[in-house]
Structure 1
Amino acid sequence: MPPIPDHPQRYATVNELHARPFPALEAPCTAVYVAIKQPVGAARRDRGLDRAHLLALLDRHASAHPQPEATHFSGPIGRSDLKWESHTEFVTYSAFTPGLSRRPFDPVDAEVFPEDWLAAAPGKRLTSVLIRVEVMPADQDEVLAKLEDWFVPESLAVSRVVDGAAIIAGDFRIDPAGHMRFAVFVRQGTGARRIGRIVQRLCEIETYRGMSMLGLMQSRELSSRLNVLDPKLSALVSGLDSAEPSPEAVLHELLTISAELESLAVQFSFRFGATWAYEAIVTQRIEVLREERVQGRQTFGEFMMRRYDPAMRTVKSAEGRLQGMAERAQRAAELLRTRVDVERSAQNQKLLESMDRRADLQLRLQRTVEGLSVVAISYYAVNLAAYLVEPLAHRAHLSHGALMAILTPIVVLCVWAMVRRIRNHLT
Structure 2
Amino acid sequence: MPPITDHPLRYKLANELHARPFPSMNAPCSAVYIAIKQPNDAVSRDRALDLAHLTELLDRHGAPHPQPGATHYYGQIGKYWLKWEQHTEFVTYTAFAEGVSGRPFDPAQFDVFPADWLEAAPGQRMTSALLHIAPRPAKNEEVTTLLNEWFVSESLAVSEVLDKAAVVAGDFRIDMNGHLRFVVFADAATDARRIGRIVQRLCEIETYKTMSMLGFARVKALQPKLNDLDTKLTGLMGAMSDERASAEKTLDNLLAISAELETLSAQSSFRFGATGAYEALVNQRIEALREDRFQGRQHFAEFMMRRYAPAMRTVNAAERRLEAMSSRSIRASNLLRTRVDVERSAQNQSLLESMDRRSDLQLRLQRTVEGLSVVAISYYAVSLVGYLLYPLTQSTGLSKGMLTAIATVPVVLLVWTMIRRLRKSVE
Q: TM-score range by the shorter chain?
A: over 0.9
Residues 129-168 of structure 1, C-alpha deviations (whole Å, 9 max, x = no match) = 1111112223222222211221111111111111221111
Q: What is the CA–CA distance in structure 1 between the aligned matches of 2:426 and 2:112, rounded to whole Å?
A: 103
Q: What is the CA–CA distance in structure 2 between the aligned matches of 1:263 and 1:364, rounded to whole Å?
A: 59
Q: How does 1:83-102 map to 2 (within 5 A)?
A: 83-102=83-102
Secondary structure, counterpart of 2:6 in structure 1: coil
Greater Cα shift, 257-266 or 112-121:
112-121
Q: What is the CA–CA distance in structure 2 between the aligned matches of 1:384 and 1:236, rounded to whole Å?
A: 77
The answer for the alignment partner of 1:144 in structure 2 is 144
The answer for the alignment partner of 1:317 in structure 2 is 317
Partner amino acid, structure 2, of 1:8: P
Greater Cα shift, 82-91 or 101-110:
101-110
Secondary structure, counterpart of 1:378 in structure 2: helix
Structure 1 residue 42: deviation in Å?
Answer: 5.7
Structure 1 residue 390: deviation in Å?
Answer: 3.6
Q: What is the CA–CA distance in structure 1 between the aligned matches of 2:128 and 2:59, rounded to whole Å?
A: 22
Partner amino acid, structure 2, of 1:67: Q
Partner amino acid, structure 1, of 2:344: R
Contact 2:160–2:166 (CA under 8 A) maintained in structure 1: yes
Residues 31-59 of structure 1, C-alpha deviations (whole Å, 9 max, x = no match) = 11100111155644322221222122112
Q: What is the CA–CA distance in structure 2 between the aligned matches of 1:281 and 1:182, rounded to whole Å?
A: 19
The answer for the alignment partner of 1:201 in structure 2 is 201
Q: What is the CA–CA distance in structure 2 between the aligned matches of 1:24 and 1:14, rounded to whole Å?
A: 23
Secondary structure, counterpart of 2:171 in structure 1: strand
Structure 1 residue 263: deviation in Å?
Answer: 1.1
Q: What is the CA–CA distance in structure 2 between the aligned matches of 1:244 and 1:280, rounded to whole Å?
A: 51
Structure 1 residue 426: deviation in Å?
Answer: 2.2
Structure 1 residue 120: deviation in Å?
Answer: 1.7
Structure 1 residue 401: deviation in Å?
Answer: 1.8
The answer for the alignment partner of 1:79 in structure 2 is 79
The answer for the alignment partner of 1:184 in structure 2 is 184
Identity of counterpart residues, as a percentage?
A: 64
Q: What is the CA–CA distance in structure 2 between the aligned matches of 1:6 and 1:79, rounded to whole Å?
A: 42
Q: What is the CA–CA distance in structure 2 between the aligned matches of 1:388 and 1:166, rounded to whole Å?
A: 136
Q: What is the CA–CA distance in structure 2 between the aligned matches of 1:339 and 1:394, rounded to whole Å?
A: 83
Q: Give every structure 1 segment of 4 or more consecutive aligned residues whose post-TM-superposition deviation is greater than 6 Å.
A: none
Q: How does 1:139-178 map to 2 (within 5 A)?
A: 139-178=139-178
Contact 2:42–2:88 (CA under 8 A) maintained in structure 1: no
Structure 1 residue 2: deviation in Å?
Answer: 7.4
Contact 1:44–1:88 (CA under 8 A) maintained in structure 2: no
Q: What is the CA–CA distance in structure 1 between the aligned matches of 2:394 and 2:349, rounded to whole Å?
A: 66
Q: Where does the alignment leave 5 or more consecutive residues of structure 2 unmatched?
A: none
Q: How many residues align?
A: 427
Q: What is the CA–CA distance in structure 1 between the aligned matches of 2:392 and 2:285, rounded to whole Å?
A: 126
Residues 52-107 of structure 1, C-alpha deviations (whole Å, 9 max, x = no match) = 22122112211111112111111111111000111111110000111112222111
The answer for the alignment partner of 1:327 in structure 2 is 327
Q: What is the CA–CA distance in structure 1 between the aligned matches of 2:223 and 2:370, rounded to whole Å?
A: 75
Structure 1 residue 389: deviation in Å?
Answer: 3.5
Secondary structure, counterpart of 1:219 in structure 2: helix
Q: What is the CA–CA distance in structure 1 between the aligned matches of 2:116 and 2:166, rounded to whole Å?
A: 35
Does residue 62 of structure 1 match 2:62?
yes
Q: How does 1:110-125 map to 2 (within 5 A)?
A: 110-125=110-125
Contact 1:382–1:408 (CA under 8 A) maintained in structure 2: yes
Structure 1 residue 175: deviation in Å?
Answer: 0.9
Structure 1 residue 116: deviation in Å?
Answer: 2.3
Contact 2:165–2:189 (CA under 8 A) maintained in structure 1: no
Structure 1 residue 128: deviation in Å?
Answer: 0.5
Contact 1:157–1:303 (CA under 8 A) maintained in structure 2: yes
Q: What is the CA–CA distance in structure 1 between the aligned matches of 2:100 and 2:132, rounded to whole Å?
A: 7
Residues 103-138 of structure 1, C-alpha deviations (whole Å, 9 max, x = no match) = 221112222222222122111111101111112223
Secondary structure, counterpart of 1:172 in structure 2: coil
Structure 1 residue 254: deviation in Å?
Answer: 1.7
Contact 1:75–1:82 (CA under 8 A) maintained in structure 2: yes
The answer for the alignment partner of 2:9 in structure 1 is 9
Contact 1:374–1:412 (CA under 8 A) maintained in structure 2: yes
Compute the TM-score of the two structures, normalised by the length of structure 1: 0.96
Q: What is the CA–CA distance in structure 2 between the aligned matches of 1:401 and 1:115, rounded to whole Å?
A: 130
Structure 1 residue 346: deviation in Å?
Answer: 1.4
Structure 1 residue 311: deviation in Å?
Answer: 0.4
Q: Where does the alignment leave 5 or more consecutive residues of structure 1 unmatched?
A: none
Secondary structure, counterpart of 1:174 in structure 2: coil
Partner amino acid, structure 2, of 1:179: H
Q: How does 1:146-295 map to 2 (within 5 A)?
A: 146-243=146-243, 245-295=245-295
Structure 1 residue 384: deviation in Å?
Answer: 2.1
Q: What is the CA–CA distance in structure 2 between the aligned matches of 1:264 and 1:415, rounded to whole Å?
A: 78
Greater Cα shift, 198-207 or 408-417:
408-417
Secondary structure, counterpart of 1:125 in structure 2: strand
Partner amino acid, structure 1, of 2:360: D
Structure 1 residue 235: deviation in Å?
Answer: 1.6
The answer for the alignment partner of 1:301 in structure 2 is 301
Partner amino acid, structure 2, of 1:424: K
Structure 1 residue 387: deviation in Å?
Answer: 2.7
Secondary structure, counterpart of 1:173 in structure 2: coil
Q: What is the CA–CA distance in structure 2 between the aligned matches of 1:133 and 1:316, rounded to whole Å?
A: 36
Residues 169-206 of structure 1, C-alpha deviations (whole Å, 9 max, x = no match) = 11111111111111111111212111111111001000
Q: What is the CA–CA distance in structure 2 between the aligned matches of 1:268 and 1:222, rounded to whole Å?
A: 9
Contact 1:212–1:279 (CA under 8 A) maintained in structure 2: yes
Partner amino acid, structure 1, of 2:132: R
Partner amino acid, structure 2, of 1:164: K
The answer for the alignment partner of 2:391 in structure 1 is 391
Q: What is the CA–CA distance in structure 2 between the aligned matches of 1:90 and 1:244, rounded to whole Å?
A: 56
